C-alpha cells in the first residue's frame, strides 16, 4: 500500500509499504477514506519529538471503512468509523476511570523505557507518533491496523460526510477537553493562546460552555479572522502588549481561565523564546514554552490553566512562583478521546458544532509532502489540510 513516511527533519515521503495485518483478536483493518495533518504532526516534521525512526508511517487523525476484523472485534465489515488517536484497552485502571490516553496496556513493554525514564511512568499508545508512544503505524496511508477496535472507533451513520466527523479523531475532542478543563462558569472570561485547529475548537467549545468572553491570541490575520468569526475577541501579539491588553479587557482582573493551545514550538521574538529556540536547535531538549509562561502570568489569581498544547521535554524559566503564589489550578494531558466521541457526534448531528470551517486545503494522499511543507511554512493561509487516499 501507499503511505506517508518520516525520514528526518522536514523529510516526509510517499512510500510503498507492506499492507497491515490482523495481529491480535481485537484488531480491525480500516481502509482510510479521509485523514488530516495535525498541528502536532508538525512537531514530528520539525524533529523535536524524540523516538521517531526512519520509515515510520505518520498520521493520527483518520477515518475509514472496516475491511477486516479479528474474532474479538465488535466492528463489522463495511462500517464507517472514526478512529481516536489514543489507543486504549478499555479494561485497565486508567481506562475504567475514563483516562483513556493514560492506558497502561496500549504502549508495548519494549517501547516503555524511554518515557519511564523521561516522565517517571510509561505513557499511553498513540497512532503515528513516536516509538515512545508505541511506534504504531499511522493513518496517513491507504490502510491501518486498529488495535483494541472494540474500544475506540466511533461508528458513523451512513450519509454523513467524512469532513463533518473526521476531527472527532483528535482536534475536536482536544479543543473540547481544553475548555472543559477550565471549569467554565457562565460569564467567565477565557484567553486562548494559538488559533490553530485545536485553539479554534477550544474557542468554539468555551463559548458553547457558557463563557462570557473568549479572547484569542495569535499573529496570523486569517486565523484571527476565523476566531473572530466564532465570536471571540482577538489580540495580534505582534501589534499589542498581550498582558496589558488582557488586563484592560478583563477589568484589571486577568482572565478567569487560560488555554495554551500552542505547545512546545512557540513563535515570536520575545527574549525567552529566542533563547528557547536556540537551545531547541542544538538539541538540548528545551521546549519553547513562551505561550505557557504568558498564560501563567496573565490568568487572574485563583484562575484555571488548561494546557492542550503538546510538550515533550523540559521548560526553562518556568514561572513556578506565579503558579503557587496566585493559587492556580493546572490541567493538561493527551485527550481522552473515547470519553467524548459519542457526545460530540450527537452535537455535530444536531448542528451545534461546525467542524468544517477551518479546512483550507483538500489534497490527495500523494500530495501530503506538499501539504506538510505549506502547513508548516504558510500558516496564515494553510489552516487545516485534509488528505484523501
Distance between CA 95 and CA 359 in Å, rounded?
32
Q: Check whether residue 105 and residue 164 sit in a common domain.
A: yes
Buried b (16+ CB within 10 A) or exposed e, 139-168: bbbbbbbbbbbbbbbbebeeeeebbbbbbb
**Mean pLDDT computed over 262-272:** 73
Q: Check whether residue 97 and residue 184 sit in a common domain.
A: no
Q: Give the pLDDT of residue 313.
A: 77
- Domain-terminating residue out of 286, 302, 332: 332
The CATH number linked to 255 is 3.40.50.720
pLDDT at 198 over 90: yes
Distance between CA 308 and CA 193 in Å, rounded?
11
Q: Check whether residue 243 and residue 358 sit in a common domain.
A: no
In this structure, what C-alpha cell is assigned to residue 108?
A: 508495548
What residues make up the domain containing 147?
2-170+335-387
Output the furthest CA–CA distance in the chain (Å, rounded). Answer: 61
Distance between CA 106 and CA 73 in Å, rounded?
16
For the chain, give the mean pLDDT.
93
pLDDT at 323 over 90: yes
Lowest mean pLDDT among 138-142, 274-278, 323-327: 274-278
pLDDT-derived band at 284 (thresholds 50, 70, 90) equals: low
Order of strands across the sheet that contains 329-332 = 233-236, 213-218, 189-193, 257-260, 304-307, 329-332
* Contact by Cβ (8 Å): 49, 126: no
289-318 pLDDT, tens digit per residue, is 889 999 999 999 999 999 998 887 778 888
Q: Is 283 left (phi over 0), alpha (psi -120 to 50) or beta?
A: left
Q: Check whether residue 317 and residue 345 sit in a common domain.
A: no
100-109 pLDDT, tens digit per residue, is 999 999 998 8
**Mean pLDDT computed over 26-49:** 94
Q: Which residue has the higher pLDDT, 157 or 50?
A: 157
The CATH number linked to 76 is 3.90.180.10
pTM: 0.93
pLDDT at 269 over 70: no
Q: Give the pLDDT of residue 248.
A: 97
Q: Check whether residue 165 and residue 201 sit in a common domain.
A: no
pLDDT-derived band at 90 (thresholds 50, 70, 90) equals: very high
% pLDDT > 90, the chain: 84
DSSP assignments along 47-79, one per residue: T-SS---TTEEP--EEEEEEEEE-TT----TT-
In this structure, what C-alpha cell is assigned to residue 87?
A: 489507543
Distance between CA 48 and CA 312 in Å, rounded?
8
Q: In whole angstroms, how far apart are CA 313 and each of 46, 266, 341?
A: 15, 14, 29
Using DSSP, state whether 190 is helix, strand or coil.
strand
pLDDT at 11 over 60: yes
Q: Give the pLDDT of residue 51.
A: 87
Q: Give the pLDDT of residue 173.
A: 97
Q: Check whether residue 181 and residue 240 sit in a common domain.
A: yes
Q: In whole angstroms, how far apart are CA 211 and each of 186, 207, 348?
A: 6, 5, 20
Q: Which residue has the higher pLDDT, 384 or 51?
A: 384
Q: Check whether residue 27 and residue 136 sit in a common domain.
A: yes
Distance between CA 293 and CA 295 in Å, rounded?
5
Q: Check whether residue 234 and residue 123 sit in a common domain.
A: no
pLDDT-derived band at 378 (thresholds 50, 70, 90) equals: very high
Query: Going by DSSP bridges, is the β-strand pair 28-37/385-388 parallel, antiparallel, or unpaired?
Result: antiparallel
Distance between CA 292 and CA 297 in Å, rounded?
9
pLDDT-derived band at 275 (thresholds 50, 70, 90) equals: low
Q: In whole angstroms, how far apart are CA 137 and each of 275, 301, 307?
A: 34, 44, 26
Distance between CA 313 and CA 13 in Å, rounded?
27
* Contact by Cβ (8 Å): 64, 32: yes
Q: Which residues contact 237 (CB under 8 A, 6 or more apart)?
A: 217, 218, 219, 268
pLDDT at 278 over 90: no
Q: Check whether residue 341 and residue 325 sit in a common domain.
A: no
pLDDT at 77 over 90: yes
Q: Which residues contact 384 (CB under 8 A, 6 or more apart)?
A: 36, 37, 197, 358, 359, 360, 361
Q: Check whether residue 181 and residue 315 sit in a common domain.
A: yes
Q: How many domains in the chain?
A: 2
Amino acid at each position: 500500500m501507499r503511505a506517508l513516511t518520516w525520514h528526518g527533519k522536514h523529510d516526509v515521503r510517499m512510500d510503498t509499504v507492506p499492507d497491515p495485518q490482523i495481529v491480535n483478536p481485537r484488531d480491525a483493518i480500516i481502509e482510510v477514506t479521509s485523514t488530516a495533518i495535525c498541528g502536532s504532526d508538525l512537531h514530528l516534521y520539525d524533529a523535536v519529538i524524540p523516538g521517531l525512526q526512519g520509515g515510520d508511517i505518520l498520521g493520527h487523525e483518520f477515518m475509514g471503512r472496516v475491511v477486516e476484523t479479528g474474532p474479538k472485534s465488535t466492528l463489522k465489515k463495511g462500517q464507517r468509523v472514526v478512529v481516536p488517536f489514543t489507543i486504549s484497552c478499555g479494561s485497565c485502571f486508567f481506562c475504567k476511570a475514563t483516562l483513556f490516553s493514560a492506558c497502561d496496556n496500549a504502549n508495548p513493554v519494549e517501547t516503555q523505557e524511554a518515557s519511564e525514564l523521561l516522565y517517571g511512568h510509561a505513557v499511553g499508545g498513540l497512532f503515528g507518533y513516536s516509538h515512545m508512544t508505541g511506534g504504531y503505524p499511522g493513518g496517513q496511508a491507504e490502510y491501518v491496523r486498529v488495535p483494541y477496535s472494540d474500544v475506540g472507533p466511533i461508528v458513523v451513520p451512513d450519509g454523513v460526510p467524512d469532513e463533518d466527523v473526521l476531527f472527532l479523531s483528535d482536534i475536536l475532542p482536544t479543543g473540547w477537553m481544553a475548555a472543559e478543563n477550565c471549569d467554565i462558569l457562565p460569564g467567565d472570561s477565557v484567553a486562548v493562546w494559538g488559533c490553530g485547529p485545536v485553539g479554534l475548537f477550544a474557542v468554539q467549545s468555551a463559548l458553547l460552555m457558557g463563557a462570557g468572553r473568549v479572547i484569542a491570541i495569535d499573529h496570523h490575520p486569517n486565523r484571527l479572522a476565523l476566531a473572530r468569526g466564532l465570536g471571540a475577541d482577538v489580540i495580534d501579539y505582534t501589534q499589542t502588549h498581550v498582558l496589558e491588553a488582557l488586563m484592560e479587557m478583563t477589568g484589571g482582573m486577568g482572565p478567569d481561565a487560560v488555554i495554551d493551545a500552542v505547545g512546545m514550538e512557540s513563535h515570536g521574538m520575545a527574549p525567552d523564546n529566542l533563547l528557547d529556540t536556540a537551545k531547541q536547535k542544538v538539541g538540548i531538549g528545551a521546549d519553547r514554552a513562551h505561550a505557557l509562561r504568558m498564560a501563567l502570568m496573565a490568568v487572574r489569581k485563583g484562575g484555571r490553566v488548561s494546557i492542550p498544547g503538546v510538550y515533550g521535554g523540559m521548560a526553562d524559566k518556568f514561572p513556578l512562583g506565579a503558579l503557587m503564589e496566585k493559587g492556580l489550578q493546572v490541567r493538561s494531558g493527551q485527550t481522552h478521546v473515547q470519553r467524548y466521541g459519542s457526545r460530540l457526534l450527537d452535537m455535530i448531528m444536531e448542528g451545534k458544532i461546525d467542524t468544517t470551517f477551518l479546512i483550507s486545503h483538500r489534497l490527495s494522499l500523494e500530495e501530503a509532502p506538499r501539504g506538510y511543507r505549506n502547513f508548516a511554512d504558510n500558516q496564515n493561509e494553510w489552516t487545516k489540510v485534509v488528505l484523501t487516499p
